[in-house]
A and B are shown apart, each in its own frame.
Chain A
Amino acid sequence: MSVTNNSESAKTDLINILYVGTDKDSIQHFSEDPGFKINVVDNGFHAIRWLEENDLPDTIFSEIFMPGMNGYALHTEILDKVRYQTVPFIIHGRGIDDNERLKSYNLGLDDIYQRPLDLEKIIVRLKFLIPFKKSQSVISVVESKQKIIQIPFIKRLFDIVFSLGVLICISPLLLVIALAIRIESKGKVFYAAKRVGAGYKIFPFFKFRSMYTGADAQL
């Protein structure tokens, strides 16, 4: 009984890794190691699709040099989504020098390794990185929510005065357009499109309607 219990708890300790790349030796290292459960995708595009379709892995381990989208580009792409920011992103390759190290460190990757891989070291690092990234992202989400975007008073003043002036100058033309829309088709003259403004606030952006009313719903 206790034996099965042990093996079950050992299974939950496995590090679930998304491997991005095609290096046979590295993939074999990970598959043979009892500490990892490895999922392999051969390039960045497939990695993005895999992430959308599966539960979050414990870590993403990508090769630097890949055709189409390299490891850095994949990292940038993934960083856009808050959900993925909790996952340590590690890259590896051959012939990594100090420049490469500094570049990837400054880009905010979590670690870099030289092939052939030393899995013992990687496990030591992941034991720190996995919980650390989780705690980190909670902090950054809270911080970004608390940040209130302040628009300088001068800019706001200019925006209002200038746009008011222009609106008054072109009002005869606007009136003609409004009349033309009224005559040509049924419905309101204005159409409110949703736009993202300062501080990611969504506001209605008024335009003259050029399509039939309810055309957006038909899409």
Chain B
Amino acid sequence: MRKKILVVDDEITIRTLLEKFLNQNYEVTALADGQEGLGWLQTGQIPDLMIVDLEMPNVDGYEFIKNVRSSGYFQNIPIMMLSGADSSSERVKCYKLGANDFMIKPFNPEELSLKIEIILKCKSV
């Protein structure tokens, strides 16, 4: 069975890029903001991994991780954060809230896909 990945990003270009690129190996769902993402999780899907943008309207990346890590259902799902800014304090904050990995935009899709593979491998062992 193909692993499920949830992508949450308000930029449509990133969403379509990730959907197209990751669809070869995974079942991808792409949503536009944290509120949509939390709603989707609540109504009946547990993904194997989530790729989440930091700057989003409604519920942003920080709030999204905080909420997901506070839930009995979603606390253990690996999260990879995306951000347009190369700021170590941002990254530290994300890791403290429970993010597993971090990528700075623009990124090399191959690097992202390898990181995903590593995270999913660790999880399944």
Contacts and interface: CB of A to CB of B under 8 A. Distances in A.
A132 B70 contact: no
Interface of B (DSSP majority class): loop
Contact of B72 (A106, A111, A128): A111
B70 A101 contact: no
Contacts of A125: 67, 70-71
Contacts of A128: 38, 59, 67
A113 B70 CA distance: 9
B70 A124 contact: yes
A139 B109 CA distance: 37
B95 to A, nearest CB: 18
Chain A interface bracket (under 10, 10 to 19, 20 to 34, 35 or more):
20 to 34
Interface of B: 38-39, 42-44, 46, 59, 66-67, 69-73
B66 A112 contact: no
Contacts of A114: 72
Given A132-B38, A132-B39, A105 B46 contact: yes
**Counting chain A CB atoms within 10 Å of each CB, which of B43, B67, B73 scores highest?**
B73
Contacts of B38: 128, 132
A98 to B, nearest CB: 8
A96 interface: yes
Interface string A109-143: 01111100000111011001100100010000000
A108 B67 CA distance: 18
